[in-house]
Structure formats: structure tokens, C-alpha cells
Amino acid sequence: MKEYKVVIEPEARRDLENIYDFIMTNDTKVKAVRFLRKLQKAIMSLNFMPLRCRQSIYIQGDNIRDMIVQGYTICYIIKEDSVHIVTVFRQRA
């Protein structure tokens, strides 16, 4: 089974920091840390079978996918041997 390198792009890093700050401000640091770890674990799981997630409904392109984690969308691009996380945001109803 092919293994991909996972790269978190600068914009996605800022998104993760903003999510952490939002949860910490509106809830507790413990919950912010716990949720950030959950997002990071999901992101790192994309090193195997990144095609398992749906094609993105937010960004156009054949190799762009969305992973949903507890109401948050992780958008990523699959390249030859790598997965690039481009943005992370909260889904709105």
C-alpha cells in the first residue's frame, strides 16, 4: 500500500491555530487541546488511502478532497507522493 507524505500548508496551520484559539476562548484549554489533537490525528491519517474521502465540494479540481471531522472540513490536494492540507474550516448549516 502506498504511503503519502502529509504537508500542512501555512494557511491550514493558521486555520488550526484559529480553531484552537476559538475553542479555548469559548470553552476550556483542555477541550481545545483535545480537539486539535483529534484534527491532527485525522490529518496525519491521510498518509494512507487519501482517496477515501469525497471530492471537494468547496474547491474545484480532480485531486482535491474533503475530510469531515466533527463538523470541520479539512480540504487537501493529492499530488504524486504527497497530500497537501490547504484549509480547515467549520461547516455551516
List the grid coordinates of 34: 483535545
**pLDDT exceeds cutoff 80 at 92:** no
Q: What phi, psi does 62 have (nearest 5°)?
A: -65, -35
Query: 77 near 64, Cβ under 8 Å?
Result: yes
Summarize pLDDT for 65-85 with one digit per residue, the tens.
Answer: 999 999 999 999 999 999 999
pLDDT digits (tens, 9 = 90+) for 10-69: 999 999 999 999 999 999 999 999 999 999 999 999 999 999 999 999 999 889 999 999
Nearest to 53, CA basis, from 72, 31, 32, 75: 75
pLDDT for res 93:
56
Q: Which domains does the chain have, with CATH numbers?
A: 5-90 (3.30.2310.20)
Helices 10-26, 29-44: axis angle to 10 degrees equals 150
More confident residue, 92 or 47: 47
What is the per-residue pLDDT for 6?
99
Q: Give the pLDDT mean for 4-14.
A: 99
Instruction: Please give the model's pTM, rounded to 2 decimal places.
Output: 0.93
